[in-house]
Amino acid sequence: MSSTAAHSPPRNFTHPFLDLDGDKLREECGVFGAINAADASAATALGLHALQHRGQEAAGITSFDGTEFYSRRGLGHVAENFSSSEAIGELPGTMAAGHVRYSTTGGSGLRNVQPLYAELASGGFAVAHNGNISNAKSLRADLVGKGSIFQSTSDTEVIIHLVATSRYPTIADRLVDALRLVEGAYALIVMTPDGMIACRDPLGIRPLVMGRMGDAILFASESVAFDVIGAELIREVEPGEMLQVDFAGEIKSVHPFGKANPRPCIFEHVYFSRPDSFFAGHSVYEARKAIGAQLAIESPCEADLIVPVPDSGVPAAIGYAQQSGLPFELGIIRSHYVGRTFIQPSDTARHAGVKRKHNANRGLVAGKRIVLIDDSIVRGTTSSKIVEMMREAGASEVHFRVASPPTAHSCFYGVDTPERSKLLAAQMELEPMREFIKADSLAFISIDGLYRAVGSRGRDKACPQFCDACFTGDYPTSLTDLSMTEQKDAQLPFADPKAA
């Protein structure tokens, strides 16, 4: 690589994993790629900005000008690293790929910021990866034993070494050879001197879409990234599909991994994707409204107001209100000038942290029976503080409705969930959970109801249409890196409530 910008953290950057409660699932990562684009790096930076919600720890872009690869990576947001003409000027060429991340495997730190780059015998090789390789530790140990030297602790680097050690003649065949050894989830954008390769795991767990802007072909984690640059969404990259695009504009599609029943992550509908994206053929916004409507059918409530927990609970709350006939009101006001709530030295300071981000609309909720709508409950700590805040504001009753089933299992496919022992639904049945958050009532949408809301007839237990392991414990791939004890614990329906 000709240049690498290794930035120290911005002055106002606070590590996102110092989240007060770990009470939201962290939104995996986001990838974007452009080939045959006059301003490939600028388009990539804009695309990454639209995907910022998927990863706020770090961002990186690698470009290729036909001769050399260039890279710029930094901790913090896209705008903090790629907003200047000087930054984009360091990344020339008609092909570029970018990545925004939260660390799932490998931890934080600049050496793990993607795209990762290596000089192989065939030339430069850059890869941006959304997902998680569930046998990365086993593969890494084998590669190190054979002499591979790793420069990062990211599971993505395993793919690079597998490609480097493959004996197949072409880079595409070597990538296929490498991915056949990999288990887990991946949406990949790869750059080589011959062009760009985009690939999605055989189950399609992680999302990836293809677009066009003039002569340029684009790839992104979500369709909204195309909207912001004026590009056209062509289609989703199919599960197990590998697309090769060269500098002449030729597109080659192959399915080298055989056929499998797709299982895209259903949490994309619930929370991860931006509401203005399309996922699995459906508008995410409309799907979330339908989830809220189904929740109202399954768990109605006598109340005066429907109040969303902003911002993730808003579309579901609109659907719940429309279905129930109860008024939708902004009973909680969110400050958009406060990031995540961070670890503080005392309970008082932690509670103040929640109030800096969310504040009750006291004049609206006082004396009212309210139904709070949120997308999920993870540890339950933030939920309990919001219920308490509503009571302090004078609400006469506070009911809680959740637009997803109980999150009782950890994710091993690229979502940074807390360990299972810290998931509230893994420790408690429904009534103890209600008591924990101190709500007057608590209800979650059923797994079948969630499926119906996103366009299915219900969950087919023999062949689920989505990856829903965080709700059901039904993991669609092997989990090689987990010990047998860990695998058994991951699939237990409930721990002893007395231990919570």
What residues act catalytically?
29
Please check whether residue 174 is in contact with residue 168, taking contact to mean a CB–CB distance below 8 angstroms.
yes
Calculated CA dihedral for residues 31, 34, 40, 41, nearest 10 degrees: 10
DSSP per-residue letters across 66-120: SS-EEEEEEES-HHHHH-SHHHHHTS-SSEEEEEEE--SSS-SSGGGPSSEEEEE
Exposure b/e, 313-333, CB count within 10 A at least 16 = b: bbbbbbbbbebbebebbebbe
In one-letter notation, the amino acid at residue 494 is F
Which residues contact residue 182 at a Cβ distance below 8 angstroms, ignoring those fewer than 6 apart?
A: 133, 135, 139, 158, 159, 162
Q: Quote the CA–CA distance of 468 and 475 in Å, as a whole number.
A: 8
**What sign has the CA pseudo-torsion 356, 358, 362, 366?**
negative
Instruction: Tokens 């959970």: give the residue.
Output: 433
Please check whether residue 175 is in contact with residue 190, taking contact to mean a CB–CB distance below 8 angstroms.
yes
Closest CA to 304 of 363, 385, 368: 368
Closest CA to 282 of 261, 266, 259, 263: 266
Which residues contact residue 152 at a Cβ distance below 8 angstroms, ignoring those fewer than 6 apart?
A: 106, 111, 112, 116
Q: Quote the CA–CA distance of 335 and 358 in Å, as a whole number.
A: 6
Q: Quote the CA–CA distance of 179 and 43 in Å, as a whole number.
A: 28
Q: Quote the CA–CA distance of 297 and 289 in Å, as a whole number.
A: 13
Q: Quote the CA–CA distance of 288 and 305 in Å, as a whole number.
A: 19
Q: Cis omega before residue 464 (within 30°)?
A: no
Helix, strand or coil, per DSSP, at residue 190: strand
Q: Quote the CA–CA distance of 276 and 22 in Å, as a whole number.
A: 25
Q: Quote the CA–CA distance of 310 and 313 in Å, as a whole number.
A: 6
